[in-house]
Amino acid sequence: MVEILQYTEEHRAFRERVRAFFEKEVVPCVDEWEEAGIVPKSVWRKMGEQGFLCMNVPVEYGGAGRDFLHSVIVGEELARTNHTGLAAPLHSDIVVPYITSYGSEELKKKYLPRCVSGELVTALAMTEPNAGSDLASMTTTAVEEGDQILINGQKTFISNGMNCDLLVLAARDPVVENPYQAIDLYVVEAGTPGFEKGKVFGKMGWHSQDTAELFFNDCKVPKSNRLGIKGGGFVMLMEKLQQERLVCCIVAVAGAECMLDATINYCKERKESGRPISAFQDNQFRIVEMATEVKLGRTFLDKLIADHIEGKDIVVEVSMAKYWTTEMAQRVADGCIQLYGGFGCCEENPIGRSWRDTRVLSIFAGTNEIMKGIAAKFMGL
């Protein structure tokens, strides 16, 4: 069978290096990080030293100028570690591209090299207490005062929120009536007066991810920290959501593959009435059904990755894939827990963590209901 994605020997060698790094520097520490509720920044710097962050940042800004398949490899191998605290794909493939694509030369030279090195950890601040998927409803304001922008408001459920050194923040000009022309994106450094980090949320899953609240009280940033043209924030967000949701699909499919592999191995080793539980027909059927869904998800995902690399507009297809792959991953998580039985519900069993961490995938990057609504609109329904 012809592979959809054409990985080269260089890609395969890169995957081996990434996997070896995670097995040495991440996997042994996951339980400790889960307990602490945060990943130490030293790991980000180690990733930067190895060249595993911000794959597509051009060489002139300290990056390696690699293709998107390198990002896919990092995301897939990170999924194998069975934790979500080290949110490198968010940093490398969702947040930093805003600076790469829309930042001024001054901003790119100032921040990109340190994003690549892991010195700066980034976050994206869009969601508010009363504005989630509906970006036009955000209330955080950005008011021009000479050469400064005065920011006031609150953001919530911000991944990397506590660790972040640099924030891409969405805010609106209260004077502009059209909400789609009022939004701008600003780069805000941690430590800026008026920018405070609140509590880290205690969540049902994603225990090692420092998801936090952020507060802005007369926070002043230079006007030069605005990304793109004034009023262009909403368009920029829409342009980057294709890749953001594709990254979500990568996490979902890779996670489902890892859960299924672990479960199959367990079923072959676990015996009941003198036979491996994989020998029971009902269990075989359940495994085959899950394996079929995972393969369907992989094929759909790889095709979309190939299209994305070619620069195609696949907003509708990615919306479909985001809802389907994340719900597929939940079905696989449920099926795997069932095959593990009572042991699957014990904290010592990693499948329990996988089950908890998978649930939120259908909510972030735009809820799956929003994904279906986008597809329905483009289908003329």
Residues with a catalytic annotation lie at: 244
Indicate the SS3 state at residue 237.
helix
Structure tokens at 152: 């006031």
What distance, in Å, lies between the first and last C-alpha atoms of the chain? 36
3-state secondary structure string across 45-75: HHHHHCCCCCCCCCHHHCCCCCCHHHHHHHH
Tell me, what amino acid is at 253?
V
Residue 49 to residues 44, 57, 74, 334, 372, Cα–Cα distance (Å): 9, 15, 14, 38, 40
CB 233 within 8 A of CB 185: yes
193 φψ region: left (φ > 0), alpha (ψ -120 to 50), beta (else) = beta
Sign of CA dihedral 63, 67, 70, 71: positive
Nearest-angstrom CA–CA distance, 131 and 51? 36
Structure tokens at 137: 């409803």
Contacts of 2 (CB under 8 A, 6+ apart): none
Nearest to 91 by CA among 186, 187, 160: 160
Per DSSP bridges, beta strands 122-125 and 166-172 are parallel
Task: Count CB neighbours of 139 within 10 A.
Answer: 14
Residue 353 to residues 156, 205, 287, Cα–Cα distance (Å): 23, 7, 20
CB 199 within 8 A of CB 212: yes
Residue 90: DSSP 8-state? I
Residue 175: DSSP 8-state? T
